[in-house]
Structure 1
Amino acid sequence: MSQSSSVSRTSPLCPRSMVEPQFLSDHVDHYFRERVEKTWNGGHIMHGRTPGPDGILMVTNDYLDMANHPEVIQAQIDGLRGSDNTVVMSGVYLHGDSPQIHLERRMARWMRMESSLLCQSGYAANVGLIQAIGAPGTPVYVDMFAHASLWEGVRSAGLEWKPFRHNDPSHLETMIERNGPGIVVMDSIYSTTGSIAPLEGLVEVANRHGCVTIVDESHSLGTHGDQGRGLVAGLGLESKVHFVTASLAKAFAGRAGLIACSERLRQFIKFNSFPAIFSSSLLPHDISGLARTLDLIKAADVERERLHANAAYLRRHLDALGYNVDSGEAQMIALEAGPEQSTIVLRDALESRGVFGSVFCAPATATKRSLIRLSVNCNHTYSQINRVIEVCEEIRDEVDLANWPSTRRGGKQQSIRAAAAEAA
């Protein structure tokens, strides 16, 4: 076979492409055939309409509206201009009084932890942490709704996960009694549904049985607790939790991850976590932006109050309309349509009326529990939120709300019929 016969023509931007080996072709074909064609009818579940200028966007994790804050932008600009001696290298080489280490100390003090370690992302933080501390044979007890990065950390460590029922301390205890002490892993606020973990009960069980505890605070750091310190500090659990992790791409609106723990454990993780060893450290302008954001988040009580008021208002009205939304104080509200085809119908119904949420489907959710997540922002107006409520009322029959699995689980059919009768 000549060299020219082993490639195929594609687009002008990519004129030549290698022929795929059969095993790769079969694997990719299965995705396009089973998901794109059969389940999504040739489109993509994640990509619906493009928002117009009047679209109500409920997709961002920037809950406190920090990404475009002029002081954060200026801090990043100053960081770029003052970085003429930038050295790009792995964080294992950082020592002394570098800006990153200074920020790590500030973050730890704010969270009421002894020390902290900044890394490239929340995903890298969770994977690297469990990979580093997971001694062979250690059982890892993972909440069934825990973030994918925590599950991947268990796999990276070569350990066996022991799932426990979502937010269920008694089932966690049963699992530990059956399998012995290990690592207990949970989120404080779960990103898909917005449910809040019963941290006090879970941590008490873990500590009583001699386990290590990891709490991912990605969606509560900055938004919950005094000065936004998170739920671990807010509940006074900082001396009872070994590790607090977080993505700083949520309320901090940056590009980084964090592990807060003791100084001894920080030193161990820094030199044993593969993502920490084999990735470059954060750049100076990232550090500058995050440092200024920390100052602003500490003082953002008004924004936090407005965020929680917006979320409570929307949740209360959606519940009254018959949507089975989680009862809690999180800024994420899930509309769980169930099968992916039903979620596409929901997506299109919302977007055709100018409301845009985030689609969550496998592998982020179970196959039959896909959903649209509405993420509330502190600067959403009541006019916008009322419009979202109006739309969700309008579309109930169109999306077949009464027959969603989540509706049946929550026993909501009766409230839907009552609300419809009242509207009529």
Structure 2
Amino acid sequence: MEYIANFPREHLREREDAFHIKRFEQIWGGDHLLRGREPRDGDIHLMSNDYLCIQDEPALRKAQAHALLNGKTDLLMSSIFTLEGSSMQQLEAAFASYMQSEEAIICQSGFAANVGLLQCIASPSIPVYLDLNAHASLWEGAKVAGARGIAFRHNDPAHAERQIKRNGPGVLVVDAVYSTDGSLCPLAEITDLAERTGCILVVDESHSLGTHGPAGAGLTVGLDLAYRVHFRTASLAKTFAGRAGLIACPARFKEYFRMESNPAIFSSGLLEHEYVWFLEALSLIRGADDRRRRLHTISKSVRRSLDEMGYDVGGGTEQIVAIESGDERETRRMRDALQQAGVFGAVFCPPATSRNHCLVRLSLHSGLSEADLDALIERCSAARSAM
């Protein structure tokens, strides 16, 4: 305790005070913006990214439990030491086939996949062109690579082309479905642009893998672009309801990545029951066309209803419905009104958004019944009236 009491805090105090005093006490009024009140029975929860509702599937849980109780001892080491024929390699082969890719690499998370990938393909002499709404992990990857991160306007290939002509070929980075507003990337135009300008193309499929394309193989496969996009990444903590990341890549790149990517080298691999979960989940998701159709129908319906009520749901079209809420004080009022009405979404604020463009994000899922949807629209209407 004496060590803690005498810890030299001066260099941290200013930054801590900026959060605890200015942000938490003054702006948020002592009420954590991302939390609010405790949910009650009957409230509608739209915070999870389990878009096809597989987390509670009995077959998946049984398979994982069996692996935990009867599986072999795990290798608690970096995955670069994993031997031929391992569960990791079986899963990578399954995802490569699913995504029509030469190879796939399992990573510790979507963040690790994006940071590790960009560390390996960008450098101080190779700029990275990022859509303004690209995920934070992609921006962090450019930073780790020492590359210039050059922004282009959201979903604006023409502006991206002007940036590339001004600064030279590099790495062009987009999301297939953007996590902040649910908008769909104009991927065919972006792919043409990458080829025309000599750029490496990276597409983050975190919010489209499992939900878009044939058998859920992603937007890239759905648009028949699998052999034109150089790299695809994904977080498997969305539709696949687990905890890992993925890179779809050329075969020659795989071992280079394993030996050059710091997140891959210096993190332990997954555990046996996690590989089992993903293999079972992949089988289920391949055959989940009814759930995918339901998800897309729900997304269109909810967006239309919220727009008619006067909510600003931006330019999105997919299962992520982001309600623009303004600055953090205005966002707290919107969060409280929705929660009071019994609707729980996820609050997005800086650093996930810009300062005055916070969001309350509703992540829709295929398990919502017609009664659930009626209740959701009724409650959102009540919250709108209260605001």
- Equivalent positions of 1:15-414 (< 5 A) are 19-399=7-387
Q: C-alpha deviations, 1:351-378, integer Å up to 9, x for none?
A: 0111100000000000100010011110
Q: Deviations over 1:302-333 (max 9, x none)?
A: 11111111111101111111222245541110
Q: Given that residues 107 and 116 in structure 1 are in contact (C-alpha distance below 8 angstroms), is that contact kept between their aligned partners in structure 2?
A: yes
User: Is the Cα contact below 8 Å between 1:39 and 1:341 reproduced in 2?
Assistant: yes
Higher Cα radius of gyration: 1
Encode CA deviations 1:269-322: one digit per residue, 9 max, x unaligned: 121110000000111000000000000000000111111111111011111112
Shift of 1:224: 0.5
2:384 is paired with a residue whose SS is coil
Deviations 1:130-178, CA, capped at 9 Å, x for gaps: 0111133101000000000000001111111010000000000000100
Query: SS of the counterpart of 1:259?
Result: strand
Counterpart Cα distance in 2 of 1:84 and 1:205: 48
Measured against aligned partners, the alpha-carbon deviations of 1:200-237 in whole angstroms (never above 9, x if no partner) come to 11111111110000000000000011100000000011
- The 8 Å contact of residues 308 and 329 in structure 1, kept in 2 or not, is answered as no
Cα deviations by residue, 1:238-281 (Å, 9 ceiling, x for unpaired): 11111000000000000100000111112211211100000001
Cα contact 1:310–1:382 (8 A) shared by 2 = no
Give the gaps of 5 or more residues in structure 1: 9-17, 400-424
* Conserved 8 A contact 2:314-2:323: no
Residues of 1 paired with 2:155 and 2:54: CA distance? 30
Take 1:260 and 1:326, find their aligned partners in 2: how far apart are those partners?
A: 30
Structure 1 ranges of 4+ moved more than 4 A = none
Distance 2:319 2:155 in 1: 18
Whether the 8 Å contact between 1:133 and 1:269 is mirrored in structure 2 is no
Q: Tell me how far apart the structure 1 counterparts of residues 265 and 231 of structure 2 sit (CA, whole Å).
A: 19
Question: What amino acid is aligned across from residue 325 of structure 2 in structure 1?
Answer: A
Q: CA deviation at 1:397?
A: 4.4
CA distance in 2, matches of 1:40, 1:281: 39
- Write the distance in 2 (CA, Å) between the matches of 1:175 and 1:383: 48
C-alpha separation in 1, matches of 2:294 and 2:110: 26
**AA aligned opposite 2:258:** K
Once residues 362 and 193 of structure 2 are traced to their aligned partners in structure 1, the CA distance between those partners, rounded to angstroms, is: 32
Alpha-carbon distance between aligned partners in 2 of 1:7 and 1:102, rounded to the nearest angstrom: 48
Check the 8 A contact 2:340/2:383 in 1, yes or no: no
The sequence identity of aligned pairs, in percent, is 45
Rounded to whole Å, the distance in 1 between the matches of 2:315 and 2:58 is 35
1:68 Cα offset (Å): 1.3
RMSD: 1.3
Q: Match for 1:105: what amino acid?
A: A
- Return the alpha-carbon distance in structure 1 between the equivalents of residues 300 and 14 of structure 2: 47
- Cα distance per residue 1:26-45 (max 9 Å; x no partner): 22112111110111011110
Deviation, 1:395, is 2.8
Distance 1:336 1:20 in 2: 41
**Aligned to 2:291, what secondary structure does the other structure show?**
helix
Q: Distance in 2 between matches of 1:271 and 1:66?
A: 34
CA distance in 2, matches of 1:20, 1:135: 36
Cα pair distance change 1:20/1:350, threshold 3 Å: farther
Q: Which deviations, in whole Å up to 9, do the C-alpha atoms of 1:380-413 show, x marking residues without a partner?
A: 11222222212222233433xxxxxxxxxxxxxx
